[in-house]
């Protein structure tokens, strides 16, 4: 069982829908991350949260809106997405954002935008 | 130059072969380095950290060459179950890890 849990695992949405991805970590970590992985491209960092404060926003379009209500939960709210936003969205955590250690990933949410 | 570069492969090798991948990076200030394994449609999982002195875990050996700015992964006695995409990752001072696009390995019977 992974220490980082993502739901839903699969999501299909139309361009006018609003949906949210959820991530929960059970590792007691203080830093949480959203990455996007598109086919044949490297993982792209989207957002970094440290102790519920957003510390990195990697030029992500405003149709992606993150929320971190506490250090264990991270959301990615989606609205008016484009077909090119179809990808695997990976949540990750590590003890602190200033750490240089490994990232622990959830199983990902595979998003298809029609 | 990309921050992290990997040969996408695929590397097709027979069972029992030895195979090596390199990953080059551009930021000389990078402090920590990792190899992750990613199976098809799954999340990346840490394979091993890469230390300055090199490290070995069973059939896997990782090395760091700071002077030439690359890390390597050597897999000995390849198994069918080693078939996956291998991602290198490093800390580039952005509070997160930066990943290469991965090298695909296919071990054939």
Q: What is the pLDDT of residue B15?
A: 98
Interface test with B, best of A31, A39, A42 (most B CBs within 10 A): A42
Spatial neighbors of B24 by CB under 8 A, at least 6 apart, are: B4, B5, B68, B69, B70
Q: Which residue of B has its CA nearest to A5?
A: B43
Contact at CB, B96 and A107, closer than 8 angstroms: no
% pLDDT > 70, chain B: 100
CA distances from B9 to A26, A62, B101, B105 (A): 36, 35, 11, 7
Average pLDDT over residues B85-96: 88
CA distance A19 to chain B (A): 21
Tens of pLDDT along chain A (114 residues) come to: 569 999 999 999 988 889 999 999 999 999 999 999 998 789 999 999 988 788 777 789 999 999 999 989 999 999 999 999 999 999 999 988 777 788 999 999 999 999
CA distance B62 to chain A (A): 15
Contact at CB, A90 and B43, closer than 8 angstroms: yes
Q: What is the pLDDT of residue A1?
A: 54
Contact at CB, A105 and B8, closer than 8 angstroms: no
Could you give the 3-state DSSP secondary structure of residue A84? Answer: helix
Question: Phi first, then psi: what are they for A84, rounded to 5°?
Answer: -70, -5
Q: What is the pLDDT of residue A53?
A: 82
């Amino acid at each position: 069982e992974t220490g980082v849990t993502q739901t839903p695992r699969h999501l299909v949405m139309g361009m006018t829908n609003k949906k949210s991805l959820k991530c929960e970590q059970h590792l007691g970590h203080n830093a949480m991350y959203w990455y996007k992985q598109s086919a044949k491209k490297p993982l792209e960092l989207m957002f970094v949260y440290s102790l519920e404060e957003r510390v990195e926003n990697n030029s992500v379009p405003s149709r992606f809106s993150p929320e971190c209500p506490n250090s264990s939960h991270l959301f990615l709210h989606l609205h008016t997405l484009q077909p090119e936003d179809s990808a695997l969205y990976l949540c990750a955590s590590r003890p602190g954002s200033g750490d240089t250690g490994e990232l622990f990933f959830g199983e990902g949410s595979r998003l298809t935008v029609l | 130059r990309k921050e992290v570069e990997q040969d996408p492969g695929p590397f097709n090798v027979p069972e029992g072969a030895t195979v090596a991948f390199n990953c080059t990076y551009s930021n000389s200030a990078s402090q920590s380095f990792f190899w992750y394994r990613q199976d098809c449609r799954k999340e990346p999982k840490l394979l091993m950290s890469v230390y300055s002195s090199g490290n070995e875990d069973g059939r896997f050996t990782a090395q760091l060459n700071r002077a030439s700015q690359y890390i390597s992964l050597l897999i000995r006695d390849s198994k069918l179950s080693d078939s996956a995409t291998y991602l290198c990752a490093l800390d580039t001072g952005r509070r997160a890890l930066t990943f290469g696009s991965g090298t695909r390995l296919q071990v054939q019977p």
